[in-house]
A and B are shown apart, each in its own frame.
Chain A
């Protein structure tokens, strides 16, 4: 199976009530890659997916599959596989007939259909479930049937709309790694929408963060976390501590609770730092504040430290020591872990 690249070219979509869901979006999705579209609700991520699927027509712009313009084609002629949030399995058909639906539409002979169906049931770990009715399946099983049904006709592109959102946390964790495994095996171009950053990080080769119908940043999970393009992305991916800059000192900047190392010539209004890069230290440290609370999270603890700023600092510490609320905490940070952001 040769994978298909997808290109969105200046796509725009507004709804009848005037809200612009997607605004002049241009995007290149490489053949065979898994792209996660991440963002808060209403940011246009689902509309973007539906534009690629052909369930929505753009008001302006084009959608290209492998360089060919598919903008005027409805979904049934785009050769895409789609997994819906609530799975949308046909309740009137059993598991095997659900999976075989797309093959039947393509007039694949019965024997071939049955062979492919058995192969897919095995792929998703549901051997022997072919004759079950949909209402007899658990949420996780339905999710897998939906996936098998979507890939059965060997589509050019696989689209997933919040594929794991309807599952409970534990199952979601397990199915997430299964889904990742499957996407790698299929080597298909896949686009999935999620509001869960963990899911996006785990499954996406690249992540598209969207904000109000536009691209906030498109990058690999690592780049997104380490070099967020702006405060919106940084806040959306992981937790971020913000320090309001009060003024220059000899070798850094003055902030609430102490001073931070900062050598660049320009002086931003706010400096940022990730919770895991603030170290609790017994030495003097750079910033000190009073402990507000400590939350045990297993491998590490999350400490909330009040340094007098608008928000308490979040500090991740793998240190087991139990502090009492009100204790003075000294925090150290390496210079390269402090960064500034575009607004």
Chain B
């Protein structure tokens, strides 16, 4: 039948594309478990490389997680009120500001990092601490929270809900925390998911901003690619995926549950 040939062709094409994208990842993961990559699988499988990576680079894993969590917190504290203000203002200025906020994403990370270094680099204590990297991450990830939160805020009938809360005696601050934030949690969570993901994988900015004492996971990865055996670098990738995939699945599930609860 004609239709089934077309279907088969499409299936083959899809499988080929998937293979093209997945095989390198799988090979890299396999390399991290192979005793000697140049001899191939015949040399046998081992966890030695993983252990070695963990011994050498575990501080980078913790620092990355710490940064991601701190970054998500900061972005929430700054981003949710910012989104609220932008939605409420909704004028030329607020739209310009919204565009401006995306600038650090469009700009090469190296450039924003250089700007930070030029401005704050001489503040020794700050320059040497992980907070310096945090500032870069917050700058870079902010629009990824503000955008989805704004979208949710515009969908909800927030002004009327706020009027209702006000008519019941609630002042502005209480309205924000009991009406605005709870009704935007789906957007906030979607944003946090994105921010955590981006912060964990961020390399450009971080590479410029880090010091030997403040190495994140992606920076460590670059380090190991440059200096260590291929098997070590691959094991490092494996470690990264082991860490981030369950995290993303958990966050995704949580966000799906919350947004289901929001549906009317």
Chain A residues in the interface with B (C-beta under 8 A):
53, 55, 74-77, 79-82, 84, 86, 88-92, 101-102, 105-106, 134-135, 149-150, 153, 159
Contacts and interface: CB of A to CB of B under 8 A. Distances in A.
Contact of B168 (A86, A92, A149): A149
A205 B24 CA distance: 79
A105 B163 contact: no
Interface in B146-196: 157, 160-161, 163-171, 174, 178-179, 182-183, 185
B55 interface: no
Interface of B: 157, 160-161, 163-171, 174, 178-179, 182-183, 185, 262-264
A89 B166 CA distance: 13
Dominant SS among interface residues on chain A: mixed
Contacts of A86: 157, 160
A211 B186 CA distance: 44
Contacts of A90: 161, 164-165, 178-179, 182-183
Given A55-B166, A90-B164, A90-B178, 13 more contacts: A53-B167, A74-B166, A75-B167, A76-B166, A77-B169, A81-B167, A86-B160, A88-B157, A89-B164, A91-B262, A101-B168, A149-B168, A153-B169
Chain B interface helix/strand/loop/mixed: helix
Contact of B163 (A84, A89, A135): A84
Nearest to B170: A105
Contacts of A75: 163, 166-167
26 contacts: A53-B167, A55-B163, A55-B166, A74-B166, A75-B166, A76-B167, A79-B169, A80-B167, A81-B167, A82-B163, A82-B167, A86-B157, A86-B160, A88-B157, A88-B164, A90-B161, A90-B183, A92-B179, A92-B185, A102-B168, A105-B168, A105-B170, A134-B264, A135-B264, A149-B168, A153-B168
Given A75-B163, A88-B160, A92-B183, A135 B168 contact: no
A91 B183 contact: yes
Given A105-B169, A106-B169, A153-B169, A82 B164 contact: yes
